[in-house]
Structure 1
Amino acid sequence: MTVKHATFTLERVYPVSPDRVFAAWSDAATKAGWFTVPGGGHSLDFRVGGREVTTGPPDDGKGMVFDARYEDIAENERIVYSGTLSANDVLATVSVTTVLLEAEDDGTRLTLIEQGTFLDGHEEPSWREQGTGTWLDNLGKVFSAV
């Protein structure tokens, strides 16, 4: 039985206003497009106390489930959520994530800070950081496709 604790910070600058970035997080269809894997499931109740549940494809054998609860939302400025990641009903991580949106020149600087507890080697901090960076890059593609 092992426990690792890790915190990481990722930043991205997007060429759109903070309200557009916020909308990409708060709209269920838009978020599913950049946050989920092909064939995975997604539900979003974007409000304080609301939940977001993301699952991997049912046929991948991993049984991945990310279950988040929105703790704080300041429209166009800040999103804070707590979440768990499980694989085949085994808890892998518990985390708290803060997303900050700041207007910068003609765009938005997004700063994401995640504090995680990684249990029994089921996930490594570097894997989470890499995966989170990938979906922030996918978010950027939403704005370049417009």
Structure 2
Amino acid sequence: MSEPTATATNPDLVIHSTFTLERRYPQAPARVFFAHADAAMKRRWFTDGEGWEIFSYALDFRVGGIESSRFSFQGGPEITYDSVIQDIVTDRRIVFAYRMTVAGAPISASLSTIEFKPDGRGTLMRYTEQGTYFGDPNAPAGREHGSRELLEKLAAELDRTS
């Protein structure tokens, strides 16, 4: 995950942006879906990593359930991630709405959809984020970059545990 922007350059600036990322995994859709549904596995690829200090992480994987974390990057300000799961179709789709803050100030609110499609013996995973970003004109590009990094961390976790 890339470090979120710590301070807004223009607190009145609101940016709306949508991006879609696709990544193929050699594992079946059920396995890739499980990597999102299992709290221990998801924590390893979603929050843990070099330079990150994790203060808390929770995942209640059900419609209406929450995922939340508090963390910092290299001793920087506290960052929060709070998500509510909106829709689950087992092995096919997850939809969630999430909000992020840095040092208590909101930096974004997003609606995200993850789709899992059979692709030969593996999976084509499509991640779409419709985001509202506050104060930083570079935030959408940074979020897309960080999301790409997470897809690679997911690949490493799947390879490690398969």
TM-score range, shorter chain: over 0.9
Deviation at 1:42, TM superposition (A): 1.4
Deviation at 1:121, TM superposition (A): 1.7
- Is the 1:37–1:56 contact (alpha carbons within 8 Å) kept by the matching residues of 2? no
Higher relative contact order (CA 8 A, sep 6+): 2
Counterpart of 1:110?
125
Matched, 1:35 2:35: no
- Is the 1:51–1:69 contact (alpha carbons within 8 Å) kept by the matching residues of 2? yes
Deviation at 1:123, TM superposition (A): 6.3
Deviation at 1:91, TM superposition (A): 0.4
RMSD: 1.5
Matched, 1:79 2:94: yes
Matched, 1:49 2:60: no
Amino acid at match of 1:97: S
- Is the 1:51–1:67 contact (alpha carbons within 8 Å) kept by the matching residues of 2? yes
The change in CA–CA distance for 1:58 and 1:108 in structure 2 (over 3 A counts) is closer
Counterpart of 2:15?
4
Ranges in structure 2 where 5+ consecutive residues have no aligned partner: 1-11
Ranges in structure 1 where 5+ consecutive residues have no aligned partner: none
Deviation at 1:59, TM superposition (A): 7.3
- Is the 2:35–2:158 contact (alpha carbons within 8 Å) kept by the matching residues of 1? no
Q: Name the SS of the counterpart of 1:37 in structure 2.
A: coil
Deviation at 1:57, TM superposition (A): 3.5
Q: Structure 2 length as normaliser, TM-score? A: 0.86
Q: Structure 1 length as normaliser, TM-score? A: 0.95
Counterpart of 2:144?
129
The change in CA–CA distance for 1:60 and 1:66 in structure 2 (over 3 A counts) is same
| Fraction of identical pairs, as percent | 35
Deviation at 1:75, TM superposition (A): 0.4
Counterpart of 1:63?
78
Amino acid at match of 2:76: G
Q: Name the SS of the counterpart of 1:56 in structure 2.
A: strand
- Is the 1:92–1:122 contact (alpha carbons within 8 Å) kept by the matching residues of 2? no
Q: Which residue of 9, 14, 31 maps to 1:20?
A: 31
Matched, 1:92 2:92: no
- What is the CA deviation profile of residues 49-91 of structure 1, one whole-angstrom value per residue up to 9, with x for unaligned ones? 0000022148723110010000000000000000001001100
Q: What is the total number of aligned residue pairs between the two structures?
A: 146
Q: Name the SS of the counterpart of 1:86 in structure 2.
A: strand
